Amino acid sequence: MQATATLRPARPALAGTGAPRSRRWLLIVPALAFLILFFAIPLLQNAGRSLGENDAGVFANYIKLLTDEYYLKVVVETLVVSFNSTLLSLIVGYPVAYFMVRRAGRLALPMLFLLVTPLLTSIIMRTFGWRVLFARRGIVNDFLMWADLIDRPLNLLNGPMSVYVGQVHVLVPFMVLSIIPVLRAVDLRLEESARVLGAGALKTFFLITLPLSKDGIVTGVILVFMLCAGSFVTQLLLGNGSIVTLPLLIFQQFSLTQDIGFASAMGNLLLLLVLACLFIQLRLTEGKRGNK
């Protein structure tokens, strides 16, 4: 009796794995409900809003967006800025991830902490930080003057350079955090094999380590690209109009012009563009996917 009593609670748990299929779907109901309520419905609503009720036709907003030279330029600029920022983040982030995994040893944990802490502050605060550093009489200009590299303060703010610096600063942690686990999983003995087989340190890196950490790079690139394509705070606060991207335009349409229909159309276009990029990236990196 005692034995059966103690066994009984375990039974349903065991049976759970083999529960009738008909009731298993219940488990996803909460998540599904949340997604429908807060993701699918707003998205559909937004799509509906973007279709104009005015006399210019149902797709007027989209036609305007895709035929007007100014808007087309903005679309292209959005992609270019996102691409460049992603590339820069990769170039800056990969060595950091590599150092943390392979060389840092006991410093790895403090480094991780330093990497993550900026994420705890608001992006606006971090961006304003750059405004202070890049100001006419800010630290950067002061240092360059002191080092006699320049005669008078440079106009560092309000140009593409400051936008990129701001973007990369915000995005690099995501890149590093995506690469670290994959790099950590690369077997050191694979690199040692390559060394014994005659590959120098650089060749070993480019032929073995880099290809094997591809999954982390892909994850990081996708993540950073998405975040970048959807961001406007940096462009707004550091670019001062020198770089205009779709999100910035949406923000302006929404809060200044209050043309909500047009803003919605741009939002949907942005969504489609990013999805298309994601698709292309995945196809490009699929290659010899059979290996893992």
DSSP state of 27: G
Return the structure tokens found at 70.
């100014």
**195 near other proteins, rule: CB under 8 A:** yes
CB-wise, 26 or 196, nearer to other proteins? 196
**292 near other proteins, rule: CB under 8 A:** yes
What are the φ and ψ backbone dihedral angles of 152, each rounded to 5 degrees? -135, 160
Only segment of 14-22, 59-67, 98-106, 185-193 that touches other proteins (CB under 8 A): 185-193
Of 196, 256, 283, 284, the one binding other proteins by CB under 8 A: 196
Site string for other proteins, 82-121 (x = CB under 8 A): ----------------------------------------
d(CA 92, CA 214): 16
CB-wise, 158 or 285, nearer to other proteins? 285
* CA neighbor of 240 nearest in space, from 134, 142, 145: 134
d(CA 179, CA 200): 23
CB-wise, 208 or 263, nearer to other proteins? 208
Only segment of 10-18, 43-51, 263-271, 284-292 that touches other proteins (CB under 8 A): 284-292
Residues 201-260 that bind other proteins (CB under 8 A): 201, 203, 208, 211-212, 214
d(CA 86, CA 195): 31
Of 117, 155, 193, 257, the one binding other proteins by CB under 8 A: 193
Q: Within 13 Å, how many C-alpha atoms sit on residue 285's CB side? A: 18
CB-wise, 4 or 291, nearer to other proteins? 291
Q: Where is 120: in which H helix or E strand?
A: none
Return the structure tokens found at 227.
């975040």
Cβ contacts of residue 281 below 8 Å, gap of 6+? Answer: 218, 221, 222, 225
**283 near other proteins, rule: CB under 8 A:** no
Binding residues vs other proteins (CB under 8 A)? 187, 189-190, 192-201, 203, 208, 211-212, 214, 288, 290-292
